[in-house]
């Protein structure tokens, strides 16, 4: 059984590096920190190495302050690498440069996982990699304390969209119940993860909503934001995730598009659909990809040109 192989590999190792993907989110940070703390409790020398910063939002998680950058791997010896929530080697960023000849455990729940590990614990039906981390920690007989529980819970709640995406199973809820018993306060995590937006996020929403319009009998909706609008709100790259959902969550809408001018004449498109239209196929027409209900692509041209191009493809599908 794969779990036993993973446990054996951990038991045979002393210096263990946990790593994960760039552009981190609640699940890869939560799953990695949970496993790291569990291994420390087991007496291992475990360090979480990431080629990116922990997002501000997740810095409250126990252990987030100890995360190391890839150069740690140059200076320190280690005998096992564990990759969390990462579909392929490229997404490890510069950590990839240190894996050759190493024993590598690949723990993930993405259907697209390339099985790049020496051991692959890939469960496509798991709601979150944090769910797999939880089961692994339990199978090692490690007590789930409040710190570990908070990390696992944050991974699950963010990757399931608060227990609502189709990946949510009865097992997800049973685990959530056990995590609350272990000390998690759902309201506390909710406050930290969802009520803690930078001011710029709502200013961006306000600015972007000005452009909202509807097409094809309100079956498609579109929101755009230009480079100059973005720059007028903040010098930093802003989190625009979630804006496309505002355009989607309207009864009549089947396809929603959000167009962001990344740089002059380069427009990033985010697409969402509800039940009929395959937006992955639409994104592929522009060299992008993703899932049937959520996809993305990059289109050359002004925002207006990009909008015209993508709406004409949507029109054929809707």
Helix (H, G, I), strand (E, B), or coil: what is residue 204?
A: helix
Among 75, 237, 251, 287, binds its own copies (CB under 8 A): 251
Report if residue 249 touches its own copies, rule: CB under 8 A: yes
Degrees, nearest 5: CA angle 279-57-173: 65
Degrees, nearest 5: CA angle 141-37-148: 75
As a whole number of angstroms, the distance between CA 29 and CA 164 comes to 20
Q: 67 or 175: whose CB is closer to its own copies?
A: 175
As a whole number of angstroms, the distance between CA 6 and CA 119 comes to 7
Report if residue 281 touches its own copies, rule: CB under 8 A: no
Least distance between its own copies and beta carbon 216 (Å): 14
Least distance between its own copies and beta carbon 213 (Å): 11
Among 49, 128, 144, 247, binds its own copies (CB under 8 A): 247
Which residues within the stretch 170-199 sit at the binding site for its own copies (CB under 8 A)?
Answer: 170-174, 176-178, 180-181, 185-187, 189-191, 194-199
As a whole number of angstroms, the distance between CA 145 and CA 142 comes to 9
Binding mask 207-246 for its own copies (x = CB under 8 A): --xx-x-x---x---------------------------x
The size of the interface with its own copies (CB under 8 A), counted in residues, is 50
Least distance between its own copies and beta carbon 93 (Å): 28
Degrees, nearest 5: CA angle 26-32-33: 85
DSSP 107-134: EE--TT----SSEEEE-TT-S-HHHHHH
> For the chain, how many residues are written?
318
- State CA 204 to chain mean position distance: 21
Least distance between its own copies and beta carbon 21 (Å): 24
Report if residue 139 touches its own copies, rule: CB under 8 A: no
Contact residues for 313 (Cβ-Cβ < 8 A; gap 6+): 282, 285, 286
Under the rule (CB under 8 A), what is the footprint of its own copies?
A: 157, 161-166, 168-174, 176-178, 180-181, 185-187, 189-191, 194-199, 201-203, 205-206, 209-210, 212, 214, 218, 246-252, 274-275
């Amino acid at each position: 059984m794969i779990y036993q192989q993973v446990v054996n590999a951990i038991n045979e190792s002393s210096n263990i590096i946990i790593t994960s993907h760039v552009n981190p989110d609640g699940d890869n940070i939560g799953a990695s920190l949970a496993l790291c703390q569990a291994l420390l409790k087991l007496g291992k020398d475990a360090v979480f190495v990431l080629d990116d910063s922990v997002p501000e939002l997740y810095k409250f998680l126990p252990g987030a302050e100890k995360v190391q950058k890839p150069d740690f791997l140059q200076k320190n010896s280690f005998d096992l690498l564990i990759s969390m929530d990462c579909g392929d080697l490229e997404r490890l960023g510069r950590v990839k440069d240190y894996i050759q000849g190493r024993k590598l455990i690949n723990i993930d729940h993405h259907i697209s996982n390339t099985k790049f590990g020496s051991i692959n614990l890939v469960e496509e039906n798991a709601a979150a990699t944090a769910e797999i981390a939880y089961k692994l920690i339990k199978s090692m007989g490690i007590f789930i304390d409040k710190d570990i529980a908070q990390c696992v819970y944050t991974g699950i709640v963010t990757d399931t969209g608060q227990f609502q995406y189709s990946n949510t199973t009865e097992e997800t809820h049973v685990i959530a119940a056990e995590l609350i018993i272990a000390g998690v306060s759902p309201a506390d995590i909710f406050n930290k993860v969802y009520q803690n937006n930078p001011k710029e996020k709502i200013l961006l929403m306000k600015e972007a909503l000005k452009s909202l319009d509807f097409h094809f009998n309100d079956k498609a909706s579109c929101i755009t934001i230009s480079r100059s609008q973005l720059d007028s709100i903040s010098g930093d790259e802003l989190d625009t995730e979630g804006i496309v959902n505002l355009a989607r969550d309207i009864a009549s809408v089947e396809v929603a598009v959000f167009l962001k001018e990344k740089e002059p004449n380069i427009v990033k498109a985010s697409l969402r659909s509800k039940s009929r239209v395959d937006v992955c196929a639409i994104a592929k027409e522009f060299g992008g990809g993703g899932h049937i209900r959520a996809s993305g692509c990059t289109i050359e041209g002004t925002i207006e040109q990009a909008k015209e191009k993508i709406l004409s493809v949507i029109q054929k599908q809707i």
